[in-house]
A = this chain, B = another copy of it.
Amino acid sequence: MRYLLTIRYIGTAYHGWQVQENALAIQPIIQDALQEMFPHRPGVTGCSRTDSGVHANMYCCHFDSPLERDPFGIICSVNRNLPNDIAATHCRVVDEEFHARYSVTAKEYVYRIYNGVHRDPFAHQLAYHYRFPLHHEAMHQAAQHFVGTYDFSSFCANNAKPGDRTRQVFAASVERDGDYVVFRVSANGFLYNMVRIMVGTLLRVSEGKFTPDQIPEIIAARCRDRAGPTAPPQGLYLNQVFYEEV
């Protein structure tokens, strides 16, 4: 049977989800933590790759096992065996057709900018510290131009794999919450570094280097060099993963 396991993690200590040589990744840690209940150590398939230092409020993965186990018991067992910066939050049995990556219909990312003048210890590695005043209304206005179906090549890292770069962005917003400015974006899929390049571009808008109305031409150029820089990883959170009914 196939199990869907949902986890949360602070990504600071990890080189993303995927097993890599000579780098600590989250995937093998989940596999190890499952061994108490699934001694055959099933392989785990994640919903997406994530970058070094990126966090997840919700990350989904699936694994197969002939063993029938109580989902609540799986969560408890996995949590006993995970380090403090990773935890399982949900588990359920899914159809064999379900796939943690290919069944995704939408994902939502959040990017947290700590916009205080001085350092905040509680924001360390959990937000990007940008100390100059942010014009969040202009950033929000600019973000509205991301909504729609476009070739987002301008918002894709140059070293990404080739392929179709058309994605549908469902919603995008920038809101201030005290000393924090939060960018929220949902889409049917994301290109490599897409959210971080969007944030780098919105920061350029705040700085007056782009106007909000220039976003459509930056998208239309389909050229990475036209967009802003890639914002650092520590502000980024995979926030929600949506699946078709399974």
A residues apposed to B, CB below 8 Å: 8-10, 57, 75-76, 79, 84-89, 116, 118-122, 124-126
> Which B residues touch A85, using CB under 8 A?
121, 124
Contact A79 B118 (CB under 8 A): yes
Instruction: For the complex, give the distance between the alpha carbons of A124 and B75 in Å.
Output: 17
Instruction: For the complex, give the distance between the alpha carbons of A84 and B12 in Å.
Output: 14
A126, closest chain B residue (CB): B122
Contact A121 B75 (CB under 8 A): no
A86, closest chain B residue (CB): B121
> Which B residues touch A116, using CB under 8 A?
89
Instruction: For the complex, give the distance between the alpha carbons of A120 and B9 in Å.
Output: 8
Instruction: For the complex, give the distance between the alpha carbons of A143 and B9 in Å.
Output: 34
> Which B residues touch A120, using CB under 8 A?
8, 87, 89
A76, closest chain B residue (CB): B118
Contact B118 A10 (CB under 8 A): no
> Which B residues touch A87, using CB under 8 A?
118-121
> Which B residues touch A75, using CB under 8 A?
118
Contact of A8 among B79, B84, B122 (CB under 8 A): B122
> Which B residues touch A118, using CB under 8 A?
75-76, 79, 87-89
Instruction: For the complex, give the distance between the alpha carbons of A2 and B68 in Å.
Output: 68
Instruction: For the complex, give the distance between the alpha carbons of A8 and B84 in Å.
Output: 23
Contact A8 B121 (CB under 8 A): yes
Listed A/B pairs (20) with beta-carbon separation below 8 Å: A8-B121, A10-B121, A10-B122, A57-B122, A79-B119, A84-B119, A84-B121, A84-B124, A84-B125, A85-B121, A85-B124, A86-B121, A87-B118, A87-B119, A87-B120, A87-B121, A88-B118, A89-B116, A89-B118, A122-B126
